[in-house]
Structure 1
Amino acid sequence: MKRISSSAPCASRGALAVAVAALALAGCANYSGISSDKQLTAPESLESTQSLPAQGGQWPSFDWATQFGDPQLPQLIDEALAGSPSIAQAQARIGKASSYIESSRSSLYPKVTGQYSWTRELYSANALFPPPYGGTWYSENNALVSATWELDLWGKNRARLNMAVSQEKSAEADMQQARVTLAASVARTYNQLALLYALRDVAQREIANRDNVGRITNGRVTAGLDTNVERRTAEGNIATSQSNLTELDGQITTVRYQLGALLGKGPDRGLQIAKPVVNPQIVISLPDNVPADLVSRRPDIVAARWQVEAATQNVKEAKAEFFPDINLAAAFGFDAFGWSKFLTASSRQIQAGPAIHLPIFDAGYLRSQLKGRYADFDLDIANYNQTLINALNDVATQVAAIRSLDRQMGDAERALDAATHAYDLAVIRYKAGLSPQLQVLSADENRLANEQTVTNLKMRRRDLQIGLIKALGGGFDATGTNFAIDGSGQTQAANAAPAK
């Protein structure tokens, strides 16, 4: 009877058995019981209709600084954005994140390498190789081209790539947040400079008023109606006002230096800034749907959301580690002694075959790694939720402060009007000899305090307006851009992970 060889079918069955065994053995290391129940907070779940009523207003645009009517302000902001080291740092972080994308993407494709070696060797006559090889010099040529490809059946490398993309988006949103923060800082510092100049104008007017009172006092002393006590008091008040003016000049110089630093320049740049132009207050109405739309208008919220997405992909990658890695490898080349037969068919060397990595027993390493990834995921979820809460609180706080200040402004202006009339009457009566100097000084102090209060309130309102613009995103809008992301408020970590 003729015997039929069954080696080929046996080999096929053996390969299949190895594959089945590999999948079965992979079950020895599993992630059962490791999960997260954390969820993104939905904006509409945070009650804010009373604090943030819909007013039909517009969201800030990128050129919001122009509405303050001072052409120097938007120019300073543009200069700061162009030369700030903080923006350069943010751009460098984006570049670093982009490099991670390129390295992660490369793992999805086959890799091909080539190598060549030439060895000149004298073989021992008393060792492994007998004559004529032993005791003779020989050259060995070896050339090999190799190719490897990780199949990524479980999506580990794709998850790593998606994580890198999410981190780049987060870095880009962080840069936008840095731009918004810097623009607002320049505007608020510039507003502080405007306030100091306004207070300086008040101080100059006060010096003029006290000079006038001093002249009246000198006339009354000459007429014998006042004494040197009143004269010295008037002179002391003038000196005090001049001292206040000098102090304001010092503060103005300091703020100029601060502006120079914000522009990314030296302190001398701040000295070149012209006196700010104080214009009437602008009115900012809240747009509709603030909570829902704020998630795409605030760069810090967008950055936090992309961090959650990166953490989601990080979890997917860690789960894929529990499954076998399958790599295909192949190589072709030539290996021969000497040169005569180096590139001939008989010198060929060919290698091909799969390689399987099995996570059978790792003493809990993969499970601990996955727990760490879920902890990072929970942390990023909590950070997003806190960022959203802080953003709504920021807007509500600015709005409440503006409302309160508007009520104060009316009272303060009425108080200033009354104090000014009282001062004018006191000066008239003092000049006519109907009241003492003390009454004039008291009325003057009251009028000065009220004028300073009104000036501070006006500039404080401008500062709050800038703060509200910043709280509303400073003109940023992720809608319809590459920053956009699903804002449903539901985490996709569990669904995106490999099936158990």
Structure 2
Amino acid sequence: MRGISLRAAGLSRRMVLATAMTTLVLGGCANYAGIRSDRQIAKPAQYESTRSLPAESGQWPAFDWANQFGDPQLPKLIAEALDGNPSIAQAQARLAKASSYIESTRSALSPKVDASYSWNRELFSSNALYPPPYGGTWYSENNALASASWDLDLWGKNRQRLGQAVSQEKAAEADVQQARVTLAASVASTYNRLAQLYALRDIAQREIRNREDIGRITNGRVTAGLDTDVERQTAVGNIATTRSNLSDLDGQITTTRYQLGALLGKGPDRGLQIAAPVLSPGATVALPDNLPADLVSRRPDIVAARWQVEAAMHDVKEAKAEFFPDVNLSAGFGFDAFGWGRFLTSASRQAQFGPAVHLPIFDAGELRSQLKGRYADFDLDVANYNQTLINALSDAATQVSSIRSIDQQMGDAQRALDAATKAYQLAAIRYKAGLSEQLQVLSADQNRLAAEQTVTSLRMTRLDMQIGLIKALGGGFDATQAGLVVPGDAPVAAASAHQVSAN
């Protein structure tokens, strides 16, 4: 009976111990209860845009979109900028750094093997732990050990860390593409600004000739006694003012050339070597079908923001895995001996093997705090994605609206220029014939000048808006072709992150 009682007592102790261990494990696994997020990335359809961005069976921009403007110099300048600009090099450096994290995190999924050797020459004290003949004698100790360890990663912590690193690399790659699109658009826009300044300079040169013609007519009228020296000096002043405007435009042209040189990643002298632009008018704008839905894979900034959300989801899952026990296996084999004679003998062998288990039971809220921080990062990345999508839709709609507004203005502006030109020509004829005063011809000339400048500015502004629309539509980027689409991509709810369980 006593033996049965002892066995029962032993069984009872084992059951109590098993129950206690189970309670501790379950308690450790349940610590993140109540920590969650309901944020989710937005679907493009959530934001009404069909009226602003209607389907028009147009094409998405191609990578060689600069060719459509008919200036062979522009594509070459863009290619030169993309090849040597420091902003691209900076983005590529960030990509390389993100890629390096993948290798370091991937290594945690594989067993590690190390080898070490040490040699120590030591004099043991005669009055300490080791008695004679060891005490008071010099000895050499040789120690060689080969060891291996493996983190079993039962709860996927290391796998989630690798997923986070891969997502960060994809985001960095999309950032490189965004830098390329931004730089190409900046080069084209600045080049268009240079074209506009040259067009205004041509107008200013023609205006000088007009003012000189008026001056010659005025001199003839002064000789005939029809005008006074007041009109003569007015004509001289107008010529000087127009020449001053021409000098100002020359200064702006030089400054813009310097800006282009900087965009090309070169010195200011490179900008002085650029020939005068010969841009042709932009084509009719036709938006592609299914624009809002497809825009998320056509704009690299949206793609980068999406991968940031993916990385944040992996961060959340990694933080959850921290609540579960880590199990590591380790083993080692080697030799340890005093002196060289017995170093590699079987009696000098040393070996070790065993698992190591780490279970967080009480950490004063550290893991919960860490998980809350990961969810906050997740919410921030989701909000950033949604805002990026909103900005992208607004950007595209704004560019389209501006282009169509300019198209409507162009007709009236051209008619105004034609009328102002005829009015000036008639005023000049009447002034030369002595039928009107100088003020009338100067007023007509000023109106004609303003109308011509307006037409030129509208034409160049339309080109600038068209370049802006190309950028707003992704500048030829395609996440599918670039391999940057999130696997199984769909609007992902944050709930999927907080539903991660031990299983």
User: Offset of 1:340 from its aligned partner?
Assistant: 1.7
Q: Which residue of 2 aligns with 1:142?
A: 143
Does structure 2 retain, via aligned residues, the 8 Å contact 1:23–1:324?
Answer: no
User: Offset of 1:491 from its aligned partner?
Assistant: 2.8
Query: Aligned partners of 1:320 and 1:349: how far apart in 2?
Result: 35
Does structure 2 retain, via aligned residues, the 8 Å contact 1:26–1:322?
Answer: no
Q: Which residue of 2 aligns with 1:339?
A: 340
Match of 2:492 among 475, 490, 493: 490
Q: Which residue of 2 aligns with 1:248?
A: 249
Query: Aligned partners of 1:278 and 1:294: how far apart in 2?
Result: 28
Q: Which residue of 2 aligns with 1:49?
A: 50
Question: Is residue 102 of structure 2 the alignment partner of residue 76 of structure 1?
Answer: no
User: Offset of 1:449 from its aligned partner?
Assistant: 0.6
User: Offset of 1:481 from its aligned partner?
Assistant: 3.5
Q: Runs of 4+ in structure 1 displaced over 4 angstroms?
A: 16-23
User: Offset of 1:349 from its aligned partner?
Assistant: 0.9
Question: Is residue 342 of structure 2 the alignment partner of residue 358 of structure 1?
Answer: no
Does structure 2 retain, via aligned residues, the 8 Å contact 1:54–1:286?
Answer: yes
User: Offset of 1:251 from its aligned partner?
Assistant: 0.4
User: Offset of 1:22 from its aligned partner?
Assistant: 4.9
Does structure 2 retain, via aligned residues, the 8 Å contact 1:315–1:497?
Answer: no
Does structure 1 retain, via aligned residues, the 8 Å contact 2:321–2:502?
Answer: no
Aligned AA for 1:489?
Answer: P
* Structure 1 range deviating more: 197-206 or 108-117: 108-117
User: Offset of 1:123 from its aligned partner?
Assistant: 2.0
The alignment's TM-score, normalised by the length of structure 2, stands at 0.95
User: Offset of 1:403 from its aligned partner?
Assistant: 1.0
User: Offset of 1:282 from its aligned partner?
Assistant: 1.7
Question: Is residue 133 of structure 2 the alignment partner of residue 132 of structure 1?
Answer: yes
Aligned AA for 2:433?
Answer: A
Q: Which residue of 1 aligns with 2:442?
A: 441
Aligned AA for 2:343?
Answer: F
Q: 3-state SS of the aligned residue for 1:51?
A: coil
Q: 3-state SS of the aligned residue for 1:124?
A: coil
Query: Aligned partners of 1:201 and 1:19: how far apart in 2?
Result: 92
Q: Which residue of 2 aligns with 1:7?
A: none
Aligned-pair RMSD on alpha carbons?
Answer: 2.0
* Structure 1 range deviating more: 467-476 or 405-414: 405-414
Query: Aligned partners of 2:264 and 2:333: how far apart in 1?
Result: 60
Deviation track 1:427-446 (CA, whole Å, cap 9, x = no partner) reads: 01111111111110010111
Query: Aligned partners of 2:26 and 2:371: how far apart in 1?
Result: 16
Deviation track 1:292-343 (CA, whole Å, cap 9, x = no partner) reads: 0000000000000000000000000000000000010111111111122211
User: Offset of 1:21 from its aligned partner?
Assistant: 5.4
Q: 3-state SS of the aligned residue for 2:280?
A: coil
User: Offset of 1:254 from its aligned partner?
Assistant: 0.4
Q: Which residue of 2 aligns with 1:113?
A: 114
Q: How many correspondences in the alignment?
A: 492
The alignment's TM-score, normalised by the length of structure 1, stands at 0.95
Query: Aligned partners of 1:205 and 1:316: how far apart in 2?
Result: 70
Q: How does 1:144-159 map to 2 (within 5 A)?
A: 144-159=145-160
Does structure 1 retain, via aligned residues, the 8 Å contact 2:85–2:265?
Answer: yes
Aligned AA for 1:303?
Answer: A
Does structure 2 retain, via aligned residues, the 8 Å contact 1:27–1:360?
Answer: no
Does structure 1 retain, via aligned residues, the 8 Å contact 2:124–2:135?
Answer: yes
Aligned AA for 2:314?
Answer: Q
User: Offset of 1:166 from its aligned partner?
Assistant: 0.1
Q: How does 1:29-44 map to 2 (within 5 A)?
A: 29=28, 30-44=31-45
Aligned AA for 2:241?
Answer: T
Q: 1:39 to 1:437 in 2, by over 3 A?
A: same
Does structure 1 retain, via aligned residues, the 8 Å contact 2:155–2:502?
Answer: no
Q: 1:202 to 1:23 in 2, by over 3 A?
A: farther
Q: Which residue of 2 aligns with 1:283?
A: 284
Aligned AA for 1:299?
Answer: P
Q: Which residue of 2 aligns with 1:28?
A: 27
Deviation track 1:16-45 (CA, whole Å, cap 9, x = no partner) reads: 998875553133341000011001100112
Q: Which residue of 1 aligns with 2:7?
A: none
* Structure 1 range deviating more: 375-384 or 479-488: 479-488
Query: Aligned partners of 2:201 and 2:288: how far apart in 1?
Result: 37
Query: Aligned partners of 2:159 and 2:227: how far apart in 1?
Result: 92
Q: Which residue of 2 aligns with 1:427?
A: 428
Aligned AA for 2:114?
Answer: T
| Percent of residue pairs bearing the same amino acid type | 74
Query: Aligned partners of 1:83 and 1:17: how far apart in 2?
Result: 71
Question: Is residue 469 of structure 2 the alignment partner of residue 458 of structure 1?
Answer: no
Query: Aligned partners of 1:170 and 1:22: how far apart in 2?
Result: 43
Q: 3-state SS of the aligned residue for 2:140?
A: strand
Aligned AA for 1:146?
Answer: S
Q: 1:125 to 1:385 in 2, by over 3 A?
A: same
Query: Aligned partners of 2:174 and 2:320: how far apart in 1?
Result: 28
Q: 3-state SS of the aligned residue for 2:56?
A: coil
Q: Which runs of 5+ in 1 are unaligned?
A: 4-9
Does structure 1 retain, via aligned residues, the 8 Å contact 2:62–2:475?
Answer: yes
